[in-house]
Structure 1
Amino acid sequence: MAGYDDRDGKIWMDGKLVDWRDAQVHVLTHALHYASSVFEGERCYNGKIFRGHDHSERLLKSGRLIDMEIPYTADEIDVAKDAMLKANNWDNAYVRAVAFRGAGEDMGVSSSKNPVRLVVAGWEWGNYYGDAKMSGAKLDISKWKRPSPETIPSEAKAAGLYMICTMSKHAAEAKGCSDAMMFDYRGYVAEATGANIFFVKDGEVHTPLADCFLNGLTRQTVIAMLKDRGVTVHERHIMPEELEGFEQCWLTGTAAEVTPVGQIGDYNFEVGALARDISQAYETMVRS
C-alpha cells in the first residue's frame, strides 16, 4: 500500500475538500516544532461514525486545554467528517481529525499570532492488533511512565503526549510484542500506548482510575456495557504486583476496539468468556 502522503482520495482541509496529495503544510508550521496539535481517532461503521459528536466535542476540549481555540463548532466538525467520508465513498473507515497551530508570524514557543488549522482525513483500516482478537495481544512493559497531571494537560488528546508512547511501542515491537503497558508516575498500572486496559478477577472487572491519562470514549462505553450486564466494575489504582492474580485482560480504544490480551511481560492471561463476550458485544453494538 502507498505511503500516507501518496494516495488517491480527498482530505477536508480548512473548510474545503482537497486532493489527497495537495493536503500539505509548510515546514515552519508551529505544530511541527512545538507539538501545538490535538487530534481524534474515530471509526465509521456502516456509514456512521461511532460517537462521532462526542469525538468532535473532545477535540474542542483538547484544544482549549492546550490554550488553542479551534475555530469550528462540534456540529461543523461533524459535517466536515461526513463530507470527507462521502467524498471517498467510504462506509467503513478510520477517521482522523487534527487541529494545529499553523505557520504564521510566530516561530518560537509563543504562537498566539498563528492561525489554528483543522484537517479531517481518513483511511480504510482493519484490526489494529491483527489476529490478537482471537489469540490475545502480547504486551511489553514500558520503561516510560505516564506523567503527573501537574506537568501535562492529561485530559487532552494532544500530540506531544504521545512521544513516549511511540518510543514504548517501538521498543515493544523490537521484542516481538504488539504494544506496551505503561505505569503512571506513582507506579500504578496506567494504560497501553494508545488504549485503556481492563482486568478480570473472580468475575469482576478492574480498570485503572483515569486520573492521569485519557478517559477513553471506548473505555466509557465498555464500562457502561459491563454494568448493564450486571458485572461489577472497579475503577481504582492497581499495583504492579496485582497483575499475577488477574485471570483475563483486554484493551479498549477506537483503533483497538476491544482486544483481548494474552501476555504482559511475564504475566499470562486467558482469553476468557468475559473478554470474548464484551469484544463481540461491542462489535455488534457499533455496527447496529
Structure 2
Amino acid sequence: MADGYDDRDGKIWMDGHLVEWRDAKVHILTHALHYASSVFEGERCYGGRIFESRRHSERLRRSASLIDFEIPYSVDEIEAAKTATLKANGLTDAYVRAIAWRGVGPEMGVASSRNPVRMAVAAWEWGNYYGDAKTRGARLDLSKWKRPSPETIPSEAKAAGLYMICTMSKHAAEAKGCSDAMMLDYRGYVAEATGANIFFVRDGEVHTPLADCFLNGITRQTVLGLLKEKGVPVHERHIQPSELEGFQQCWLTGTAAEVTPVGQIGDYRFEVGALTRDISDSYERLVRA
C-alpha cells in the first residue's frame, strides 16, 4: 500500500455510490475546504462489527445540525454506507471515517445555505494510534492552546474546525518527542488530549474532567460504564492542573486511541497500574465480544 492516503487501492463510498479510491475527489472551491463546514466520525470495526456504529451515525447527523446543515442521509442509510464500504474493501478489522461537508455550489462566501451537502465513508487498516504507548504509556506535552468556551463554538459537535488547535498542539508535542498534548479549557481546568478524553486515578478512585466544553466521547462514556460495573468510584469534575502531582495513574480514551495508558504529562509521571490495565483489557474484550 502506498504511503499517501490519496493513492491507494480500494473503494470509497461517496454520495450514494462506491467509487475507486483514487477518484474520490472534491473541487478546490468546496466550501468546507475554505470555511471548515464539515463534520466527521472516527469508528473502529472489530471482527466485522463497528463498535457503537449507530451511536456514531446519530452523532454525525447531530453534529451537522449543530453547525447548521442537514445530512441528506438517514441513520439507516449511513449505516448501510459503512457496511458497503467495509464489504467493498474486504475489511473486518478497520478504522472507518464517515464525513459530511458543504460542497461547491452557487455560494463561495461565508454563507453557503444553497450549496449541496455531501458525504463520504472510507475505511482502512489502522493499528495502535499511539504505537507502543499502549504498553509502556504515552508521553504528553502541555499545550499552550485551550479548549474554548461553549459560548464561542458548538463544543458538542465533532466538527473539523474545532480540531485546528488540536493539530497545532500535537505538532508541537511531536517536535518535543511526545505522543500528544494535554489541553486545558478556557477556565484553566484540565480538559482532554488533542483527540482523546483523559482519566486519572488516585487511591483507587477515578477522576475525569467534566465534559462541559469539549466532546463527551463515545469511548469515554463506554469506559465510564465499565467503571460503574466494576464498582470503581468515579468523580466527573473540574480538575486543576496542580492536581496532576497527586494522581498515580492516567489513561486516554477515544475510538482511535481506544484505552491508552499515559506515563508522563510534562514533568508529572504516572505508573501503568493495575486499574489502567484492567480497564484497557475490559474495553478490548467488550469491543470484540
Asked if these proteins are the same fold (TM beyond 0.5), I'd say yes
Q: How does 1:187-226 map to 2 (within 5 A)?
A: 187-226=188-227
Question: How far has the Cα of 1:122 moved from its partner?
Answer: 1.1
Read off the aligned partner of 2:240 and give its amino acid letter: M
Partner of 2:264: 263
Quote the residue 2:114 is aligned against: 113
- Match in the other structure for 2:281: 280
Residue 31 (structure 1) aligns with = 32
1:119-147 CA-partner distances (Å, limit 9, x unpaired)? 00011000000011110000000000000
What secondary structure does 2:156 align onto?
coil
Query: What corresponds to 2:90 in structure 1?
Result: 89
**1:173 aligns to what?**
174
Q: CA deviation at 1:2?
A: 2.5
Q: Give the 3-state SS of the residue equivalent to 1:205 in structure 2.
A: strand
Count of matched residue pairs: 288
Whole-Å separation in 1 of the counterparts to 2:204 and 2:75: 39
SS in 2 for 1:281: helix
Spell out, residue by residue over 1:146-188, the C-alpha distance to the aligned partner (whole angstroms, 9 max, x if none): 0000000000000000000000000000000000000000000
Alignment partners' CA distance in 1, 2:247 and 2:143: 19
- Counterpart of 2:56 in structure 1 is 55
Taking structure 2 as the reference length, the TM-score comes to 0.99
| Moved segments of 4+, more than 6 Å | none
Alpha-carbon shift at residue 58 of structure 1 (Å) = 0.1
Given residue 186 of structure 2, which amino acid in structure 1 is its aligned partner?
Y
Q: CA separation in 2, counterparts of 1:49 and 1:271?
A: 28
Matched, 1:128 2:157: no
Deviations 1:42-85 (A, max 9, x none): 00000000000000000000000000111111111000000000
Aligned-partner residue type, residue 190 of structure 2: V
Task: Mark the runs of 5 or more structure 1 residues left unpaired by the alignment.
Answer: none
Root-mean-square deviation (CA), in Å? 0.4
2:66 is aligned with what amino acid?
L
Q: TM-score, structure 1 length as denominator?
A: 1.00
CA distance in 1, matches of 2:113, 2:105: 9
Match of 1:163 in 2: 164
Query: Secondary structure of the residue that 1:226 maps to in structure 2?
Result: helix
1-side partners of 2:234 and 2:219: how far apart?
A: 15
* Separation in 2, partners of 1:59, 1:133: 28
Aligned match of 1:141: 142
Separation of aligned partners in 2, 1:263 and 1:41? 26
Percent of residue pairs bearing the same amino acid type: 79
Alignment deviations for residues 83-141 of structure 1 (CA, whole Å, 9 cap, x no partner)? 00000000000000000000000000000000000000011000000011110000000
Aligned to 2:234: 233
Q: Equivalent residue of 2:243, what SS?
A: helix
Matches within 5 A, 1:241-260: 241-260=242-261
